[in-house]
């Protein structure tokens, strides 16, 4: 994967794909001092690009590692990467981390904050069966208390339990896992937000312990424009019984209908299909 042609933007310049490397004593590798973004470029334009750049900077601030690049500089870096690699439909990964330096302990103020942007072609996150309804496992790991880790940061450290949950899900033949939060309320999937439909109205968790996804916010706006009632509420495990439809939202996942979570089943209904179609139109507009 690393030995291929192409260019990656690193610390202010484009470098050869195969030369985009870091030292083994990189602080982030030892202590998860790393934040990132996942973005999608459609027909030459990154959807909500500025929002992603802003979130990257905010994630850095939340982890006490302010990025040395402005939103405009990050925007320019992404443009440069897409152009250098001749990509018009692609997934874009921006990453910022504490590098190697004077400090090898937990405190790392003397180590440089570094940044990179890569982009590549990436199709459906859940494969070709996307519109058939994904099967979700119920994760044993819970989204942590915001007093434990800043939940609004898209921080690498938050993803360890996601990786473990997704591995466990895949071992059971599921494509993802739904996670509860530290209180036991329905939270999100390992890389996407979750929505439910009941009698034409939409229910989704309050984003007080989850990532308030850019796609999530877009979809809530779309639904409200359609005149659909959206309830941001606490969802108990037992509430799953009463929901008729379920879908995931995320930059990579886009709108992915869910057919099953544990023993609960859902139909890929009309509202879910409409959200998927309208989102597809919006990102390509």
Q: Which of 92, 94, 28 is nearest to 56 (CA)?
A: 94
Q: Is 193 in the site for ligand PMP (CB under 6 A)?
A: yes
Cα 223 to the chain's mean position, in Å?
A: 21
Q: What's the closest the beta carbon of residue 209 comes to ligand PMP, in angstroms? A: 11
From residue 117, give the alpha-carbon distance in Å to each of 1, 43, 108, 265.
16, 19, 23, 39
Q: Is 188 in the site for ligand PMP (CB under 6 A)?
A: yes
Work out whether strand 13-16 and strand 34-42 pair parallel, antiparallel, or are unpaired: unpaired
Q: Out of 99, 191, 205, 259, name the contact with ligand PMP by CB under 6 A.
A: 191
Radius of gyration of the chain (CA): 19
Give φ, ψ of 262 to 5 degrees.
60, -120
Q: What's the closest the beta carbon of residue 248 comes to ligand PMP, in angstroms? A: 9
Give me the 27-46 binding string for ligand PMP, x by CB under 6 A, dash otherwise: -----------x--------
Decide whether 108 or 190 has the Cβ nearer to ligand PMP.
Answer: 190
Give me the 65-104 binding string for ligand PMP, x by CB under 6 A, dash otherwise: ----------------------------------------
Contacts of 220 (CB under 8 A, 6+ apart): 204, 230, 232
Q: Is 192 in the site for ligand PMP (CB under 6 A)?
A: yes
The stretch among 73-81, 90-98, 186-194, 259-267 that binds ligand PMP (CB under 6 A) is 186-194
3-state secondary structure of 123: coil
Cα 150 to the chain's mean position, in Å?
A: 15
Pick the catalytic residue from 109, 154, 172, 224. Answer: 154
Q: What's the closest the beta carbon of residue 259 comes to ligand PMP, in angstroms? A: 20
Q: What's the closest the beta carbon of residue 255 comes to ligand PMP, in angstroms? A: 10
Burial (CB count within 10 angstroms: exposed 0-12, middle 13-18, buried 19+), residue 173: exposed
Number of residues that bind ligand PMP (CB under 6 A): 14
The stretch among 116-124, 170-178, 187-195, 196-204 that binds ligand PMP (CB under 6 A) is 187-195
Q: What's the closest the beta carbon of residue 205 comes to ligand PMP, in angstroms? A: 11
Burial (CB count within 10 angstroms: exposed 0-12, middle 13-18, buried 19+), residue 253: buried
Q: Out of 216, 243, 255, 259, name the contact with ligand PMP by CB under 6 A.
A: 216
DSSP 48: T
Beta-strand ranges (E) seen in 153-243 are 176-181, 186-189, 193-198, 201-205, 230-233
Q: What's the closest the beta carbon of residue 44 comes to ligand PMP, in angstroms? A: 20
Q: Is 259 in the site for ligand PMP (CB under 6 A)?
A: no
- CA–CA–CA angle 152, 227, 209 (5° rounding): 15
Q: Is 281 a catalytic residue?
A: no
The stretch among 2-10, 119-127, 190-198, 230-238 that binds ligand PMP (CB under 6 A) is 190-198
Residues labelled as active-site residues? 154
Q: Which residues bind ligand PMP (CB under 6 A)?
A: 38, 154, 188, 191-193, 211, 213-216, 249-251
């Amino acid at each position: 994967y690393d030995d291929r042609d192409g260019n990656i933007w690193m610390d202010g310049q484009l470098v050869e794909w195969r030369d985009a490397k870091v030292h083994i004593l990189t602080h982030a590798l030892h202590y998860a001092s790393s934040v990132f973004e996942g973005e999608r470029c459609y027909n030459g334009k990154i959807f909500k690009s500025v929002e992603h750049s802003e979130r990257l900077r905010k994630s850095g601030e939340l982890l006490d590692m302010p990025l040395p690049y402005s939103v405009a500089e990050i925007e320019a870096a992404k443009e440069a990467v897409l152009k250098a690699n001749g990509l018009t439909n692609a997934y874009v990964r921006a990453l910022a981390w504490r590098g190697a330096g004077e400090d090898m302990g937990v405190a790392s103020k003397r180590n440089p904050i570094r940044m990179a942007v890569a982009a590549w072609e990436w199709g459906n996150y859940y494969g070709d069966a996307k519109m058939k309804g994904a099967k979700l496992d119920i994760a044993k790991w819970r989204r942590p208390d915001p007093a434990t880790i800043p939940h609004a940061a898209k921080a690498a450290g938050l993803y360890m339990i996601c990786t473990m949950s997704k591995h466990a899900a895949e071992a059971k033949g599921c494509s993802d896992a739904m996670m509860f939060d530290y209180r036991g309320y329905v939270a999100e999937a390992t890389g996407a937000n979750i929505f439910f439909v009941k009698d034409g109205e939409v229910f989704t968790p309050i984003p007080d312990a989850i990532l308030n996804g850019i796609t999530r916010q877009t979809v809530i706006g779309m639904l409200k424009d359609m005149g659909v009632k959206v309830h941001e509420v606490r969802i108990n495990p037992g509430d799953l019984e009463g929901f008729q439809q379920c879908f995931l939202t995320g930059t990579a996942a886009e709108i992915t209908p869910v057919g099953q979570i544990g023993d609960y089943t859902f139909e890929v209904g009309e509202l879910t299909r409409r959200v998927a179609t309208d989102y597809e139109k919006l990102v390509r507009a």
